[in-house]
Copies of this chain bind each other. A is one copy, B any other.
């Protein structure tokens, strides 16, 4: 295939006529199946039951989709695949073992954080994804342990004792996930959040809190997907910028939805932020400027992808669009 043909094909593949729902459904199905197999029901004393309750049959699986979209974007596409478009065989090749494990691992970290976040000593929430929260269903002690065990399981999934994933990729995935989840990431952001109730934060302080609390794991998902392949330094930098932008956009939109949507649409209790006197983008910037900021972040994410040099970033672009323009 000549260079010009390749460029033309690449250009048409990054157009906006991308069917995100179909793309997502195929991957959500694989993630659900993998999670159901890996979050073991045979764990003793009701712990497995609580872990499965926390993880299965819920959520948009945004983080796994980001992992898979990034891994597919960095996967080297050969000429035949480019000619054929993304057919079933290419999908299967892209969704390799490392990416699937990484996708499930980030979802386990996300799920454990929700379990602990909902507990009485934290947000004391009783409704999550339209169901009773884990501690309501299984008691606080089991919820605490289930969260702890889910975090450990995430790192188990990343370190299979076989040749399916190279040790270098295993170590890199553990490195990225531990940093995204820990005190310089999600847990650190939650601590700031906890300490900020009733406190007036500046916009930089609010951004720093969200960069850690929500952004780190979303950006980490993108970087873990990238770590499954071998992207150029430029592509890696672009994906990092993309991840940071959508990570922050996610939280800005969350703050917007907390005041504009109802509990039924959200699948969780709406209006909690104002009720708990938590600093949000809406309380700081107002609704209109928050909405404009979310669109600006989407543009930043788009620009980063355009500059990435990657062949097919349609799924990543569509996911960014979904993050910013979602209804729940």
Q: Which residues in A have some Cβ–Cβ distance to B below 8 Å? A: 40, 43-48, 51, 112-113, 116, 119, 121-122, 139-142, 144-145, 147-149, 151-156, 158-159, 161, 166-168, 170-172, 174-175, 177-179, 181-185, 187-188, 190-192, 194-196, 212
B178→A153 contact, CB < 8 A: yes
A141→B44 contact, CB < 8 A: no
Question: Which one, B156, B179, B194, contacts A182 given CB within 8 A?
Answer: B156
Known contacts A116-B148, A167-B171, A171-B174, then 20 further A-B pairs from the complex at CB < 8 Å, ordered by chain A residue: A43-B183, A44-B191, A47-B187, A113-B148, A116-B145, A141-B194, A148-B148, A149-B182, A149-B187, A149-B188, A154-B178, A155-B155, A156-B179, A158-B174, A158-B178, A159-B171, A159-B172, A159-B175, A166-B167, A170-B170
Task: A181 to B45: give the CA distance in the assembly, Å.
Answer: 16
Pairs A–B under 8 Å by Cβ, sample size 20? A44-B188, A44-B195, A45-B188, A45-B195, A46-B191, A51-B183, A113-B148, A119-B144, A142-B194, A151-B151, A152-B179, A153-B183, A158-B178, A159-B171, A159-B175, A159-B178, A166-B167, A167-B167, A167-B172, A170-B171
B171→A152 contact, CB < 8 A: no
Task: A146 to B113: give the CA distance in the assembly, Å.
Answer: 13
CB neighbours (8 Å) of A196 from chain B are 45
CB neighbours (8 Å) of A156 from chain B are 175, 178-179, 182
Least distance between A59 CB and chain B CB atoms (Å): 19
| Nearest B-chain residue to A160, judged by Cβ | B175
A178→B155 contact, CB < 8 A: yes
Least distance between A123 CB and chain B CB atoms (Å): 9
Q: Given A46-B191, A171-B170, A195-B46: A153 and B141 within 8 A (CB)? A: no
| Nearest B-chain residue to A193, judged by Cβ | B45
CB neighbours (8 Å) of A122 from chain B are 141, 144
CB neighbours (8 Å) of A43 from chain B are 183-184, 188, 191
| Nearest B-chain residue to A208, judged by Cβ | B44
Task: A296 to B172: give the CA distance in the assembly, Å.
Answer: 43
Task: A113 to B149: give the CA distance in the assembly, Å.
Answer: 11
B145→A147 contact, CB < 8 A: no
Task: A48 to B187: give the CA distance in the assembly, Å.
Answer: 11
| Nearest B-chain residue to A135, judged by Cβ | B121
| Nearest B-chain residue to A179, judged by Cβ | B156
CB neighbours (8 Å) of A48 from chain B are 183
B190→A145 contact, CB < 8 A: yes
B191→A145 contact, CB < 8 A: yes
